[in-house]
Amino acid sequence: MRMQLSPEIVRGFAGYRRFVVVALGIDNQAGGERAAAFLEEQQERVRADRKLEQPREVSRIAAWRQAFQSLGEDADVTPPSIQALVEGIKAGRSIGTHNTAVALLNAISLKYLLPCGGDDLDKVEGDLALRPARGDELFVAFDGNRVERPPKGEIVLADQRKVLCRRWVWKQGVHTTIEAESINVAIDVDVLPVIAEEEGRRAAMELAERIRELAGGEVSVHLLAEGQPAVELPEPARRRQVRKNVYDVLEERGYIEQTTDRTLARELLGQGTTLYEGFDPTKPSLHIGHLMSLVALHHLQEAGNRIIYLNGGGTAQVGDPSEKSQARKVMTLDEIRANSAQIKRQVQAMGLVDFENDWPGRPKAILEDNANWLNMPLLDFAREVTVHFSVNELVKRETFRDRLEREEPLSLFELLYCTLQGFDFLHLFDHYGCRVQLGGNDQWGNITDGVALIKRKRGETAVGVTVPLITRGGLKIGKTGGGEAVWLAGEGPSSTSPFDFYQHWVQTADDDVGRMMRLYTFLSLDEIDELTAGDPRVAQRRLAFEVTRIVHGEKAARQAQEEAGQAFAAAEGLPQGVPTVTVTEEQLQAGLLLRQVLKDGGAAPSVGEAKRLLLSGAVQINGHKVDDPLRAVTTDDLLAYGQQRGALVRFGKGKVIVVLLQR
């Protein structure tokens, strides 16, 4: 295992040193009383030291604050760990002992006023680096319930998969926490030039000696500095098997945004429980925003959880107002029933959720519809459910608050939606023992309402888990560049053809491909790393193929792949002199009308003539007939083949215009 300092740290902070104490094969439960006594001794010293009454003014702490500020961090909001440690003690708080290694690292941190942090090496994946964040890595704070993604450029300690510590020496994460069972650990001792290198070394050596004395094992000290920015850490002779459960898998792949109780959610999903997610049938098809949840449900079912797919035949009659700036159109019962039937067939056909096979250790999924219980008498519902909801709290929610501030209508019908969803959770808890609800992050308020209702009515603790709302270009992932939904249905109303579906994924930005692969495919993380390290076009086409295969099947995915290749290969094989219209991304985002392209490419002498050409049905884009005079060319029309991106516009008898994106 290798640890290294990034050039940004080496160049920006001359004289910075990181000592790494590696302790292998320790007994982290031995010597606990002596470690606790040493920690308490250092806490008493800090409490009694009048020079530490204003920790921020102490030179060793002030130097870290200055370093944070030079990186653009607000040291008052996110203070260096040593400042937070000292201020906590001065405020009357005590540091928990936890285990021998953690007690010793905190004691040394206080004794020398140096930031120290530790990690369980058996939980680390790949090499370690103190470097700028990429922007897509996950971090969960110790005892935190929300997944954070450190912004690009923030200095973090990270391994191959995740962030271990944010903002250099600010806050450690939960994923590599040193536990009493840990046997192989690495502890960092960070030293700025305000402290002599020898004193930093003395602190690291004392920590190493105390670990060796109390916990045993093979202990060594390593230095990273300007002249030595990387070091090979010794490999353990024996590793502890740290089992990942399905919650860890989902978190690592990026499915989890926040939970009401991370510890309980991880325990329940890891051992196998009953969970549900609801889908309102507002259209005759689901879209790719829903697809991410279905893939997550597949992971959960395969890990032994019982899935309840809840069709919102009842709640769809109201319409979820979450994240909506205006009232939804009320649907008819016939529309809801027709959509429900179509979506049920769609979900079952994809096979991501298995409703048929009940196997040992992997129960079959249950298909439910809340229309079956939301028809209860109004007075019963008011007495049993709505009495537990506060209107004062509901109108504070952003969705409702914004509409009230704009003096837009807000019906009682909409306000009741969260009570209906909360009752869904209670009903499924009572009838199926359902303990977990999964949903989009825009459902957080509704989900927590259900958790609270179960607590009030049954005295039991249920859990809510949300998946992120992925955006691209300011739009939810379910939308195209033109603002249209990307449907899972390949034909009929509310549909996207397999070819257009494939092309949507090919257009994924280079920086987003890895994340989309983790969320929308079943490729291993190692294979995803390998693909994203190579040619981005290859990775984009692989992403497009895999997602199209999941939704439309292998045959349709291969056909879409071949059509995309043939379409642009045809453009490359056109004779010289074929009209070319070069466009920019800005033009496409602004809405470049196809009739303007036809005029610019010489297909018509004026925009009016181009409009008539469109109305005649003689125009195609990438082989698809277009007769709408208001049709715009968007980024979703661009085919990716080789190093080019563009679209083929055909008109008349064999005439072609090539639309190319400016490089």
Active site residues: 282, 287, 290, 324, 328, 421, 442, 476, 479-480
The pair phi, psi for residue 303, each rounded to 5°, is: -85, 5
Question: What are the E-state strand segments in 125-250?
Answer: 128-132, 155-158, 163-166, 171-172, 184-191, 218-224, 230-232
Contact (CB, 8 A) for 246 and 456: no
Query: How many CB atoms within 10 Å of residue 92?
Result: 7
What's at 151, amino acid-wise? P
Contact (CB, 8 A) for 556 and 661: no
Q: How far is CA 494 from CA 489, 630, 647, in A?
A: 7, 20, 24
Cα gap 344→367, rounded to integer Å: 9
Contacts with 299 (C-beta within 8 Å, 6 or more apart), sequence order: 246, 249, 250, 253, 255
For residue 619, the surrounding DSSP H or E stretch is strand 619-621
Contact (CB, 8 A) for 353 and 347: yes
Question: How would you classify the pairing of strands 644-651 and 655-661?
Answer: antiparallel
**Tokens read off for 78:** 């996110």
What's at 299, amino acid-wise? H
Crossing angle for the helix pair 262-271 and 246-253, to the nearest 10 degrees: 120
Query: How many CB atoms within 10 Å of residue 470?
Result: 20
Cα gap 551→563, rounded to integer Å: 18
Cα gap 643→536, rounded to integer Å: 10
Contact (CB, 8 A) for 294 and 347: yes
For residue 471, the surrounding DSSP H or E stretch is strand 471-472
**Tokens read off for 659:** 């639309």
Q: How far is CA 654 from CA 30, 420, 625, in A?
A: 82, 58, 14
Q: Is 155 helix (H, G, I), strand (E, B) or coil?
A: strand
Question: How would you classify the pairing of strands 644-651 and 619-621?
Answer: antiparallel
DSSP code of 36? Answer: H
Contact (CB, 8 A) for 651 and 619: yes
Cα dihedral sign, 523-527-533-539: negative
For residue 208, the surrounding DSSP H or E stretch is helix 197-215
* 3-state helix/strand/coil string of 293-339: HHHHHHHHHHCCCEEEEEECCCHHHCCCCCCCCCCCCCCCHHHHHHH
Contacts with 171 (C-beta within 8 Å, 6 or more apart), sequence order: 78, 81, 141, 142, 165
Q: How far is CA 228 from CA 10, 16, 98, 193, in A?
A: 10, 11, 33, 16
DSSP code of 224? Answer: E
Question: In angstroms, what is the C-alpha Rg of the chain?
Answer: 29
